[in-house]
Amino acid sequence: MNSETKQQILFGLYDDDDQLLDAVRKAKSDHLDIMDVYSPFPVHGLDELLGLAESRLHIAGFIYGALGTLTAFGFMTWVFTRDWPIIFGGKPYWSVPAFIPITFELTVLFAAVGMTFTFYAVSRLWPGAGNPILHPRITDDKFCIAFDTTACEEAEVNKLKNFFEATGASLVDVKEVQEEA
Amino acid sequence: MSAVVSPIREPLVRGHKTYHQITEDICAPTERAPGFAWVVAFIVAVSFLALYVFAVAWTIWFGIGTWDLNRTIGWGWDITNFVWWIGIGHAGTLISAILLLFRQKWRTGVNRAAEAMTIFAVMCAGQFPLIHMGRLWLGFFVFPYPNTRGPLWVNFNSPLLWDVFAISTYFTVSVLFWYTGLVPDLATLRDRSKGLRRKLYDMFSFSWTGAAKHWQRWEYLSLVLAGLATPLVLSVHTIVSFDFATSVVPGWHTTIFPPYFVAGAVFSGFAMVQSLMIIARKVLNLKEYITLEHIESMNKVILVTGTVVGVAYLTELYIAWYSGYIYEQFAFYNRVFGPYYWSYIGMMSCNVLVPQIFWVKKWRRNVFLTFLLSIFINIGMWFERFVIIATTLARDFLPSSWSYYSPTWVEIALFTGSLGLFFTLFLLFTRLAPVVAIAEIKHILKSAGDQYTGPDAQHGHDAH
């Protein structure tokens, strides 16, 4: 994060999500290397166009959940059969049906907490993360395509600008941001 | 994620909104100075909150003897309030999670506020078992932590302990689900503000940018959290009902309790959502986002769950008679004709009879009537819990220990005060965060708004 290198980003804003999808399609056929696409809400169909791999968040969620199941069930088993066995209501020490509610709750708790924190961590989202905000209207009503032009030559930049013009971008701008370490 | 959308469906967003207008409309209440109505409401709510703090302090100082509970009736208004508040919370999760899985787009207008209601209701609920402990400062004893007494563990076979796990999990998951939905909208507020306000919203929005990969993961997360919250919400009131159902007290020891409690929870929760949303849509000027269509849909849920609850009441009576077990029969005879007969009448009329007017479409779409009814249902559901708890305990196995119980001012202050806590939190929420999920409304605008652009769109007055 503290790296001194600057990254130059060329971005264009579109007014509509359908327009954005058309533009991304054209960028793909022109073999332009899109850095990222930003939108005020999830635009469906974008993932496939950008070739984003399916998220593996749910796999992580399953692992966290399984961990919760084992923690709860294992702990209660240990307490009631090894550490401090007590008979409750004439039932066996290892009274499995009575363990189900807490086992279920901890499964859900571990899966939900684990997944949520993983989401924020891998997405680099946390208080003070300082992610660059290219334009204030992106979280409002504008759809943005961004190119990394740090190492680009004049001709390449012009080509990208022409692309924005051809696809009907309502605003094209350049922004310098701190490169992520 | 694309759902089948019919052009005949009523639009869920009215007023020919553009994306920008949606942002403006929903952000407006957080950006202007609070109105007169808000200030008055806030002062009233904070006064009740102060009363609550006073009553809690009184309880802790003098002990729960101040509640006039006795050896026969050990649970009074406190546990009634606990079950009532928890039930109210359930509608928020139902709207945000179960309706998300069912792809019910009408949830989008009301989910944010309903989830907020869930969180605040669970916060109110959680207080009652804690102060009921008497020695509040030892409340942490309910968690199984390594201690110097053995270590001596909690009883994992006790439904009261299951409650601890259920309620704390429910609260945590609800907060995570709600906040994750809120993050993109807080970023919208951030990008509209300057100075300190901007810094704060940047912190609370975790520097959200709206990148495609983030949205993809965000949608996955929402879906899986919804999938987790759905069985969770069913489990929570099931476990609350186990507090009663696993006992051997006639009138409590019944297998019907879990489904009946869950239906009742959804019923009372939707009533509370109606009470809140009908005021919010008017005061915050959100009638184009929380439409009559939303109110009608929720009234349908109220009608169904109210009727389920009614069937459960009748089933209970029938099974009590059919069981041939005199103690069970007496418990139910006592509920209807015993010393607390008035609470049974209140419960039956408010919960079963009154909602039946929603069979009529015209009345389902009448805002004033809906508001009135939602208040009735809230009262009726409070009576239900009181009937279950107090009437059952008042007449136990030994006639010599039969008793009667009326609340003291402390208990009344605790209940009305908890309403103050709830409304204080809710009013603050309407000032600090968007009450309607901005990103989600924009997302459904083209498929479910009045500018529907999908297949079979009617080109003419509505489409453009």
Query: pLDDT of B121-157, one tens digit each?
Result: 999 999 999 999 888 889 899 999 998 888 889 999 9
- Minimal Cβ distance to A47: which of B203, B212, B443: B212
Instruction: Mark whether A77 and A101 lie in a shared domain.
Output: yes
Instruction: Mark whether A28 and A83 lie in a shared domain.
Output: no
B463 compared with B304, residue with greater pLDDT: B304
- Minimal Cβ distance to A42: which of B169, B202, B218: B218
Any domain includes A133: no
**Mean per-residue pLDDT for B395-406?**
89
Residue B101 is predicted with a pLDDT of 85
Any domain includes A65: yes
Instruction: Mark whether A30 and A47 lie in a shared domain.
Output: yes
Chain A residues close to B151, C-beta within 8 Å: 83-84
Instruction: Mark whether A106 and A94 lie in a shared domain.
Output: yes
pLDDT > 60? residue B6:
no
pLDDT tier at B3, thresholds 50, 70, 90: very low
pLDDT tier at B361, thresholds 50, 70, 90: very high
Residue A114 is predicted with a pLDDT of 97
Residue B407 is predicted with a pLDDT of 92
- For residue range B307-334, list pLDDT tens digits in order: 999 999 999 999 999 999 999 999 999 9
Residue A179 is predicted with a pLDDT of 67
Please report the residues numbered 353 through 382 in chain B whose beta carbons come closer than 8 angstroms to any beta carbon of chain A.
Answer: none
- For residue range B263-277, list pLDDT tens digits in order: 999 999 999 999 999
Any domain includes A128: no
What are the residues whose beta carbons fall under 8 Å from the beta carbon of A82, sequence distance 6 or more?
none
Residue B452 is predicted with a pLDDT of 63
ipTM attached to this prediction: 0.93
DSSP-assigned letters across all residues of B87-151: HHHHHHHIIIIIHHHTT-TTHHHHHHHHHHHHHHHHHHHHHHHHHHTS-GGGGGGGS----SSSS
Boundary (domain end) residue, out of A122, A154, A169: A122
Report how many domains make up chain A: 2
Chain B residues close to A44, C-beta within 8 Å: 1-2
- Minimal Cβ distance to B209: which of A80, A105, A131: A131
Instruction: Mark whether A115 and A65 lie in a shared domain.
Output: yes
3-state secondary structure of B211: strand
Chain B residues close to A125, C-beta within 8 Å: 183, 206-208, 214
Q: Do A108 and B220 touch (CB under 8 A)?
A: no
Any domain includes A1: no
Instruction: Mark whether A113 and A73 lie in a shared domain.
Output: yes
pLDDT tier at B462, thresholds 50, 70, 90: very low
| Alpha-carbon distance A179 to nearest alpha carbon in chain B (angstroms) | 15
pLDDT > 90? residue B46:
yes
pLDDT tier at B17, thresholds 50, 70, 90: confident
Q: What is the distance between the alpha carbons of residues B159 and B142, in angstroms, rounded to a whole number?
A: 12
- For chain B, give the percent of residues with pLDDT over 70: 95
What CATH number is given to the structural domain containing A159? Answer: 3.30.70
Mean pLDDT of chain B: 90
Instruction: Mark whether A63 and A116 lie in a shared domain.
Output: yes
- Minimal Cβ distance to A55: which of B168, B191, B216: B216
pLDDT tens for the 181 residues of chain A, in order: 455 678 889 999 999 999 999 999 999 999 999 999 999 999 988 999 998 998 999 999 999 999 999 999 999 999 999 998 988 888 899 999 999 999 999 999 999 999 999 999 999 999 988 888 999 999 999 999 999 988 888 888 999 999 999 998 999 999 988 765 4
Check: CB of residue B237 under 8 Å from CB of residue B90: yes
Structure tokens at B218: 């965000």
Q: What is the distance between the alpha carbons of residues B194 and B201, in angstroms, rounded to a whole number?
A: 10
Any domain includes A23: yes
Residue B450 vs residues A76, B10, B26, B102, B185: alpha-carbon distances, Å: 55, 8, 17, 22, 22
- For chain B, give the percent of residues with pLDDT over 90: 67
Q: What is the distance between the alpha carbons of residues B190 and B169, in angstroms, rounded to a whole number?
A: 30
DSSP-assigned letters across all residues of B398-409: -GGG-------H
Any domain includes A146: yes
Any domain includes A129: no
Instruction: Mark whether A70 and A34 lie in a shared domain.
Output: no
- Closest alpha carbon to B216 in A145, A45, A15: A45
Task: Output phi, psi for B366, to 5 deg.
Answer: -95, 115
pLDDT > 50? residue B1:
no
Residue B457 is predicted with a pLDDT of 54
**Mean per-residue pLDDT for B373-398?**
92
3-state secondary structure of A37: strand
**Mean per-residue pLDDT for B248-252?**
89
Interface contacts A/B by beta carbons within 8 Å? 187
Chain A residues close to B239, C-beta within 8 Å: 101
Q: Set out the domains of chain B in order of their start, with CATH numbers.
A: 19-33+69-137+156-405+434-448 (1.20.1630.10)
Q: Do B191 and A123 touch (CB under 8 A)?
A: no
**Mean per-residue pLDDT for B424-451?**
88
Instruction: Mark whether A110 and A157 lie in a shared domain.
Output: no
Instruction: Mark whether A61 and A86 lie in a shared domain.
Output: yes
Q: Do A136 and B192 touch (CB under 8 A)?
A: yes
Question: What's the domain range around A78?
Answer: 57-122
Instruction: Mark whether A35 and A86 lie in a shared domain.
Output: no
Any domain includes A33: yes
Instruction: Mark whether A43 and A77 lie in a shared domain.
Output: no
